[in-house]
Amino acid sequence: MIRSMTGYGEATAHIDGTHYFVQIRSLNGRHFKASVRLQEEFESLEAELESRLRKHISRGSVTLKATCTDDTEQAAREINCRALDKYVEQLSQSKHVGSGRVAIELGSLLELPGVIQPPGDEGERIGRVRDVFAKLTDQACAGLVKMRISEGQMLEDDLSKQLGLIEQHLAEVKERAPDVVKDFETRLRARIDELLAGSTIAENKVDIIREVAAHAERTDIAEEITRLGGHLEQFGKLVGQDGDAPVGRTLDFMAQELLREANTMSSKSMDTRISRSIVEIKGAIDRIKEQVQNVE
CA distance 256 to 293: 12
Q: What pLDDT was estimated at residue 275?
A: 87
* One domain for residues 106 and 69: no
Q: What pLDDT was estimated at residue 14?
A: 92
232-249: pLDDT as tens digits: 999 999 888 877 788 899
Is 201 among the domain residues? no
Is 64 among the domain residues? yes
How sure is the predictor about 71, in pLDDT bands with cuts at 50, 70 and 90? low
CA distance 115 to 139: 38
* One domain for residues 126 and 69: yes
For the chain, give the number of residues: 296
109-164: pLDDT as tens digits: 777 777 677 665 666 778 889 999 999 999 999 999 999 999 999 999 999 999 99
CB burial readout 168-185, b (16+ within 10 A) else e = ebbebbbebbeebbeebb
* One domain for residues 37 and 126: yes
Is 189 among the domain residues? no
Residue 2, SS3 per DSSP: coil
Nearest CA to 145 among 58, 77, 73?
58
* One domain for residues 62 and 40: yes
Asked whether the predicted pLDDT for residue 266 surpasses 90, the reply is: no
Most confidently predicted of 115-119, 223-227, 261-265, 286-290: 286-290
**Which residue segment(s) compose the domain that 60 sits in?**
7-75+121-150
Other beta carbons within 10 angstroms of residue 273's beta carbon come to 14
Beta strands 60-70 and 32-37, pairing class: parallel
CATH of the domain at 25: 3.30.230
* One domain for residues 104 and 16: no
Is 88 among the domain residues? yes
Residue 219, SS3 per DSSP: coil
68 and 39 in contact (C-beta within 8 Å)? yes
| SS percent in the chain: helix, strand, coil, step 5 | 65, 15, 20
* One domain for residues 69 and 93: no
Is 247 among the domain residues? no
Is 160 among the domain residues? no
Nearest CA to 244 among 86, 56, 110?
56
Is 92 among the domain residues? yes
How sure is the predictor about 168, in pLDDT bands with cuts at 50, 70 and 90? very high
Q: What pLDDT was estimated at residue 259?
A: 94
* One domain for residues 47 and 129: yes
Mean pLDDT estimate for the chain: 82
* One domain for residues 39 and 134: yes
185-233: pLDDT as tens digits: 556 555 655 555 555 554 555 555 565 455 555 556 778 888 999 999 9
Asked whether the predicted pLDDT for residue 17 surpasses 60, the reply is: yes
* One domain for residues 57 and 127: yes
* One domain for residues 70 and 125: yes
CB burial readout 61-98, b (16+ within 10 A) else e = bbebebebebeeeeeeeeebeebbeebeeeeeeeeeee
* One domain for residues 134 and 68: yes
CA distance 115 to 132: 29
Percent of the chain with pLDDT over 90: 45
* One domain for residues 18 and 104: no
Number of domains observed in the structure of the chain: 2
Instruction: Write down the pTM of the prediction.
Output: 0.70
Of 282 and 179, the one with more pLDDT: 282
Contacts of 269 (CB under 8 A, 6+ apart): 180, 219, 221, 275, 278
Is 46 among the domain residues? yes
